[in-house]
Every structure is written in structure tokens, then in C-alpha cells.
Amino acid sequence: MDSSHHRKIELQSPEDLRYLIDNVSRRAREKIDLNLPPSAAPEGEDALRRRVEELVHEFEPYDRRLHTRVQTLQASIESSTLALSQLRRDAPAAAADAYIRQSAERAAAAAAAVAELNAAATVVEGRMPLDLKPLERQEEVERAYGRSLEVLGGLKSGLPATAAKLERARKAAEHVEKTR
């Protein structure tokens, strides 16, 4: 016997068979009632419903070729799912590597173009490229910038209080004008 067959149901007693038949019949009846509800008129017989009920009690013989085809399709679905999951793992890293490689190539090309333009500019003007020296007053500029930031911070905290005082003064002036 092939391992692809379903194993047989072992029945210990006739009650086991009765239990299985009752459950299958009950589930079939639920499906029929769900998809083909009984008509509103109980005396009117529904031909489609009657035919479906007759077909429910018929059983098809086991088809080995159909079973093999279903297994082949399930294996195909499984292999496609595995391939897709592998792509989901590998594709982002491959795309990131390609992006980094292209960015590095573009940056190198841009740097080469800038160097070429700088060399051409020095040849045209007959001068050497600019050599920038550090600022003589670098520390003084940094201190002035730090003090400016402190003053701005103080203004940021003092400005709402000043605005509130201005609003109170405006209300007081309006009150004085009204009472005159």
C-alpha cells in the first residue's frame, strides 16, 4: 500500500460507524441549508434542493490520478511559496548592495569630474588652486556665536512673559478709556 493513501479509520464498534455517518450527514445538511435554504412555502417542493439532497448520498470512487494531481499541485504551491520566502529574505539585501555600489560609482565619477574641472580651471587661469587657511579669529567667532545662542534662548523664555504683560497693559488701557 502506497504511503500517499489515507490510512483507514479503525472502528471499534458499530456505534463508531453510526457516529461518523451521523456527523457527515449533519454537516451535509448544514451546508445544504446554508446554500439552499428551505423555501418559505413548505408545501412547494424545490427541485434543485431535492436533487442536491439526492447527490449528497452518492459517493465517488477513489481516483488515484486525481489524488496524484492534487499532490503535484500542492508540491508546486509549496515550492513556489519557499522560493517567494527566499526572495523576500534575499531581495532587500541585494537591492541595498546594488544601490550602494551604484552610489559609490556615481560618487567616484562625480569626484573625478570635479577634479578634472578643477585641473582645467587652474590651467585656464594659470594659477594654483585656492589654499584656504584657517580663520585667524576662529575662537572669537565661536564665543560670539555661543553668546548669541544664549541671548536667543533667554529671549525665547522671556518673550511669552513680556507678551502677557503687554496684553494686560492693553486691557488696562481699554478699561481706563471706557471709564472716562
Q: pLDDT tens across 53-74, in order?
A: 777 777 666 778 888 999 999 9
Q: How many domains does the chain have?
A: 2
Does a structural domain hold residue 95? no
Examine residue 167 and state whether it is found in any structural domain, yes or no.
yes
Domain annotation covers residue 79 = no
Residue 108 lies in a domain: no
Residue matched to cell numbers 526572495: 87
pTM of the model: 0.33
Q: Is residue 159 part of a domain?
A: yes
Q: In Å, how far are 4, 16, 43, 131, 138 from 134, measured between CA atoms? A: 82, 96, 105, 10, 8
Does the residue 126 lie in any domain? no
Residue 125, domain member (yes or no): no
Between CA 166 and CA 168 the distance in angstroms is 5
| Domain of 29, in residue numbers | 11-59
**pLDDT tier at 99 (50, 70, 90 boundaries)?**
very high
